[in-house]
């Protein structure tokens, strides 16, 4: 509301045949002390705002500094040096040359001798506040500026390189250089844009609104294009490759050969549940009798139940393929967006047909599964048979002589009751074979810790402790011997109950049975109310293992058959049928759905896009022609050589005396030389860097010299002058010597 700042620019556009086509950004000066409603960090905020603009590579920086202040302390030059260390974008501008004290001038600065910049300095004389109040126009101000430089003895020899018109000329040359440098890239960009819309323009060139057959031709072309696109996306082609994700035929192929087999495997292995079902089937078939032989009816019952479970994955694969076909249709109809009604009707008709085929395909799937259930072919050449199943069952408990023991399971387990004094439980890599349980330091199985034989071992449940989050089971010896070292039990812990059950099922296959005594004390944990531990005598376990092997063998045959038949069924009943429908019947369905004129009604957006594309094409051609003329008629000037601008880095650490006060030789006062080691400087220094007052020329009878400050031996300082300015000159400093306005801002030209 008062003196606050905002980084949002205030835009002012000036139109005139006599000005350059440039953007001038007038940035605020850096305020050192907050005034009004400015925040305490106003200096940093303004600095950040300035850096945001001057960091642009396509900006020229006009570092404006008043002639009656110390040039070495110019914030504008310091900031310009930070973003433009080579000095290629920085032009020094010296103002208020007419307000310098008599006997002083800025000749050496403007000649780029005192504190040089790569692009030098340009002096200007603007209107004073009195001139502005007196309605002095710009033309008169330019004439007065020209007269000042021609009549001033220090500047008349370089009057042609001073003033606002010369500054305009320099900036115009820089604009020309910038255009010349950017022309090749700009021309390439325009040509690439032209090529990108040429194909579309060719289509529009053949557009004839008055042609009566236009809509019929367009409809035939659109349907034909849709058919070709759909087939290419399903069958695969080189001209429409999606590099972001799988789609179309590739996605369906993945469903056939990755997703569907995975669904089959996922439901195939549930060891604990399957063994329980086999056990119950055997017992229920025997009834009250004690069976001596393994009943084949148990095998059939289990196999049929497993085959019926395949219906879920089969139906799911049909759903996935149907969804991908509909997605493919939606992608293909994007080219029909020119005619919204045609696009909508095509999508509706094809999607409806796909859903019809989905129902027929699902019926065929269920029929295939029912066919497999209706007859269990135990004479299949790949079926292992009863004798082989029994032999494999006996090999689980004892390994063949001279062969490696069969590995049943591997995985991480925590030994819960060993090493309590050494930090508690520890995790090991366990390997379960048909003969032993071994554990290693890690899964590389290089360092074996122990091998425990499975003879006379049984499994017992251990109640989960209050403080532990793990689920525990224990191994113990039925002959009351120690299992491991001095331990009667070996407590093993898992992260979940499912993992415990899985390990117990694996131990069961290795011949390590649950302890019967623990079954009476164990509460029923399953949701269906059935006990987890059921009676498993060795004879029953052998029968379960035999049926398990038979089921494994037969289900592998069924899975192989299903994995082969399901993709073929989907391909025949869905995908090929949909392709034939699009090729042969889609056009007839479109004609029968709606009137041709309604279908081929063009969208307003498409008409607008056609007009914009044609206009853009014409504009790009004109732009390339103009660039061709510019590139042959403009002459660029090389950048000036680098200069020694080390004074800019030293300005803040040890500010030299003001470069803007070189005295002209006067009577009885020879000209002074720069001090060695500090760069050029006049004999009489200006006030300190915090003072905004102009330097005071030496006059006879001045005040006696002051003692050096704090014993540093520096030259005597001249106190600030009181603010007694003439009426026509703006006030430069307050009575206390502080500047009455922020430092002069750097100006930028955004090319």
As for how many domains the chain has, the answer is: 3
pTM of the complete model = 0.42
**Of 81-90, 131-140, 462-471, which range is least confident?**
462-471
Choice between 412 and 538, residue whose per-residue pLDDT is larger: 412
Q: Does 655 or 193 have the greater pLDDT score?
A: 193
**Rounded mean pLDDT, 649-660:** 53
pLDDT in the model for residue 706 = 37
Q: Determine the average pLDDT of the residues in 96-116.
A: 87
94 pLDDT higher than 80: yes
Check: CB of residue 602 under 8 Å from CB of residue 219. no
Residue 326 lies in a domain: yes
pLDDT-derived band at 719, boundaries 50, 70, 90? very low
Across the chain, what does the average pLDDT equal?
Answer: 75
Out of 565, 600, 635, pick the residue that ends a domain. 600
Instruction: Say what percent of the chain tops pLDDT 90.
Output: 11
- Lowest mean pLDDT: which of 622-626, 649-653, 730-734? 730-734
Q: What is the pLDDT of residues 352-374, one digit of tens each?
A: 999 999 999 999 999 999 998 89
Q: For the segment 147-177, what is each residue's pLDDT rounded down to a tens digit?
A: 999 999 999 899 999 999 999 888 888 877 8
The answer as to whether 1 is a domain residue is no
- Give the per-residue pLDDT at 101: 84
Residue 85 covered by a domain: yes
Residues 441 and 566 in one domain: no
What's the CATH number where 587 sits?
A: 1.20.120.1240
Helix, strand, or coil here: 663? strand
Q: Alpha-carbon torsion 505, 510, 516, 517, what sign?
A: negative
Do 456 and 533 contact (CB within 8 A), yes or no? no
Residue 247 reports pLDDT greater than 90: no
* Three-class SS of 93-137: EEECHHHCCCCECCHHHHCCCCCCCCCCEEECCCCCHHHHHCCCC
Instruction: Please state, in angstroms and rounded to a whole number, the distance separating the CA atoms of residues 470 and 493.
Output: 6
| Same domain as 275, residue 130 | no
CA separation for the pair 541, 357 (Å, rounded):
48
391 domain residue, yes or no: no
Judge if 231 and 268 occupy the same domain.
yes
Instruction: Kindly state whether residues 256 and 126 are assigned to the same domain.
Output: no
* Of 84, 32, 45, 46, the residue nearest 63 (C-alpha): 84
Q: Is there a contact between 224 and 217 (Cβ–Cβ < 8 Å)?
A: no
Q: Which range marks the domain in which residue 138 is found?
A: 56-162
pLDDT of residue 291: 60
The CATH number given to whatever domain includes residue 438 is: 2.30.29.30
pLDDT value of position 92 = 92
Q: Which residue among 162, 191, 209 closes a domain? A: 162
**Model confidence at 140, in pLDDT bands (50, 70, 90)?**
very high
First to last CA, the chain: 33
Q: Is the domain of 335 the same as that of 300?
A: yes
Q: What is the mean pLDDT of residues 620-636?
A: 75
Other CB atoms within 10 A of residue 741 CB: 13
Based on the fold, state whether residues 579 and 471 are members of the same structural domain: no
d(CA 166, CA 163): 6
Instruction: Report the alpha-carbon distance of residue 304 to residue 297 in Å, rounded.
Output: 11
Query: Is there a domain that residue 534 lies in?
Result: no
| 378 and 446 housed in the same domain | no
User: Helix H segments across 645-734?
Assistant: 646-650
Residues 409 and 285 in one domain: no
Q: Which of 458, 483, 516 corresponds to the end of one domain?
A: 516
Where residue 60 falls among pLDDT bands split at 50, 70, 90? confident
Would you say 148 and 156 are in contact if contact means Cβ atoms under 8 Å apart? Answer: no
pLDDT at 651: 59
Looking at the structure, tell me whether residues 431 and 552 fall in a common domain: no
pLDDT at 488: 81
Q: What is the pLDDT of residue 659?
A: 46
With respect to residue 200, please indicate whether it lies within any of the assigned structural domains: no
pLDDT category at 300 given cuts 50, 70, 90 is confident
User: What pLDDT, on a 0 to 100 scale, did the predictor assign at position 727?
Assistant: 40
Tell me phi and psi for residue 262, to 5 degrees.
-65, -40
Q: Give how far the C-alpha of residue 578 lies from the chain's centroid of Cα atoms, to the nearest Å.
A: 39
Which residue from 13, 65, 68 is spatially nearest to 730, judged by alpha carbons?
Answer: 68
Position with higher pLDDT, 558 vs 379:
558
Q: Are strands 457-462 and 513-514 parallel, antiparallel or unpaired?
A: parallel
Tell me phi and psi for residue 277, to 5 degrees: -65, -40
Q: At what angle do helices 164-205 and 138-151 cross, to 10 degrees?
A: 130
Classify residue 500: in a domain, yes or no.
yes
């Amino acid at each position: 509301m008062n003196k606050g700042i905002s980084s949002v620019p205030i835009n002012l556009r000036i139109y005139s045949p006599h000005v350059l086509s440039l953007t001038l950004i007038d940035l605020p000066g850096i305020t050192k002390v907050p005034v009004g409603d400015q925040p305490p960090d106003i200096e940093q905020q303004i600095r950040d705002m300035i850096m945001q603009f001057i960091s642009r590579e396509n900006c020229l920086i006009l570092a404006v500094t008043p002639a009656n202040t110390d040039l070495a302390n110019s914030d504008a030059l310091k900031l310009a040096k930070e973003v433009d260390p080579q000095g290629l974008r920085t032009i020094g501008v010296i103002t208020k040359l007419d307000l310098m004290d008599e006997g002083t001038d800025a000749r050496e600065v403007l000649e780029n001798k005192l504190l040089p910049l790569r692009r030098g300095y340009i002096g200007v004389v603007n209107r004073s506040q009195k001139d502005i109040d007196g309605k002095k126009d710009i033309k008169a101000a330019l004439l007065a500026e020209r007269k000042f430089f021609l009549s001033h003895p220090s500047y008349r020899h370089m009057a042609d390189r001073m003033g606002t018109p010369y500054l305009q000329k320099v900036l115009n040359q820089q604009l020309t250089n910038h255009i010349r440098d950017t022309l090749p890239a700009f021309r390439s960009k325009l040509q690439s844009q032209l090529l990108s819309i040429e194909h579309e323009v060719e289509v529009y060139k053949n557009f004839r609104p008055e042609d009566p057959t236009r809509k019929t031709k367009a409809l035939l072309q659109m349907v034909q294009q849709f058919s070709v696109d759909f087939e290419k996306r399903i069958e695969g082609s080189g001209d429409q490759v999606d590099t972001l994700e799988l789609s179309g035929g590739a996605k369906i192929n993945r469903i056939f050969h990755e997703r569907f087999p995975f669904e089959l495997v996922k439901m195939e292995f549930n060891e604990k549940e399957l063994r329980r079902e086999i056990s119950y089937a055997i017992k229920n078939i025997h009834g009250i009798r004690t069976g001596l032989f393994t009943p084949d009816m148990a095998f059939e019952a289990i196999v049929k139940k497993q085959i019926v479970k395949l219906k879920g994955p089969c139906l799911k694969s049909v759903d996935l393929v149907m969804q991908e076909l509909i997605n493919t249709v939606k992608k293909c109809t994007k080219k029909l967006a020119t005619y919204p009604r045609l696009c909508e009707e095509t999508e509706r008709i094809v999607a409806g047909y796909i859903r019809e085929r989905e129902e027929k395909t699902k019926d065929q799937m269920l029929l295939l599964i029912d066919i497999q259930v209706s007859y269990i072919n135990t004479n299949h050449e790949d079926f292992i048979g009863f004798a082989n199943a029994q032999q494999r069952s006996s090999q689980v408990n004892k390994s063949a002589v001279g062969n490696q023991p069969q590995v049943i399971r591997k995985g991480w387990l925590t030994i819960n009751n060993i090493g309590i004094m050494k930090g508690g439980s520890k995790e090991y890599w366990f390997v379960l074979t048909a003969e032993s349980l071994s554990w290693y330091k890690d899964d590389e199985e290089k360092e074996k810790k122990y091998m425990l034989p499975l003879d006379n071992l049984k499994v017992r449940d251990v109640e989960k402790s209050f403080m532990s989050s793990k689920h525990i089971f224990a191994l113990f010896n039925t002959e009351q011997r120690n299992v491991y070292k001095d331990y009667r039990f070996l407590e093993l812990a898992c992260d979940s109950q499912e993992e415990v059950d899985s390990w117990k099922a694996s131990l069961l296959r290795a011949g390590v049975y649950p302890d019967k005594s623990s079954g009476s004390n164990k509460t029923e944990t399953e949701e269906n109310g059935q006990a987890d531990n059921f009676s498993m005598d060795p004879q029953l376990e052998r029968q379960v293992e035999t049926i398990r092997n038979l089921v494994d063998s037969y289900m592998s045959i069924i899975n192989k058959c299903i994995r082969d038949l399901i993709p073929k069924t989907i391909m025949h009943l869905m995908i090929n049928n949909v392709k034939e429908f699009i090729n042969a019947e889609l056009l007839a369905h479109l004609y029968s759905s709606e009137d041709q004129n309604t279908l081929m009604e063009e969208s307003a957006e498409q008409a607008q896009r056609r007009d914009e594309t044609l206009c853009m094409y014409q504009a790009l051609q004109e732009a390339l022609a103009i660039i061709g003329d510019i590139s042959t008629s403009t002459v660029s000037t090389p950048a000036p050589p680098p200069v020694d601008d080390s004074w800019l880095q030293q300005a803040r650490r040890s500010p030299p005396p003001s470069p803007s006060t070189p005295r002209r030789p006067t009577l009885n006062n020879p000209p002074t030389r720069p001090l060695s080691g500090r760069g050029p400087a006049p004999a009489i220094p200006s006030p300190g860097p915090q003072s905004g007052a102009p330097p005071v020329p030496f006059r006879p009878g001045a005040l006696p010299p002051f003692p050096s400050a704090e014993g540093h031996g520096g030259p005597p300082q001249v106190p600030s002058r009181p603010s007694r300015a003439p009426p026509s000159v703006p006030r430069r400093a307050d009575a206390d010597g502080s500047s009455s306005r922020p430092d002069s801002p750097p100006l930028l030209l955004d090319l």
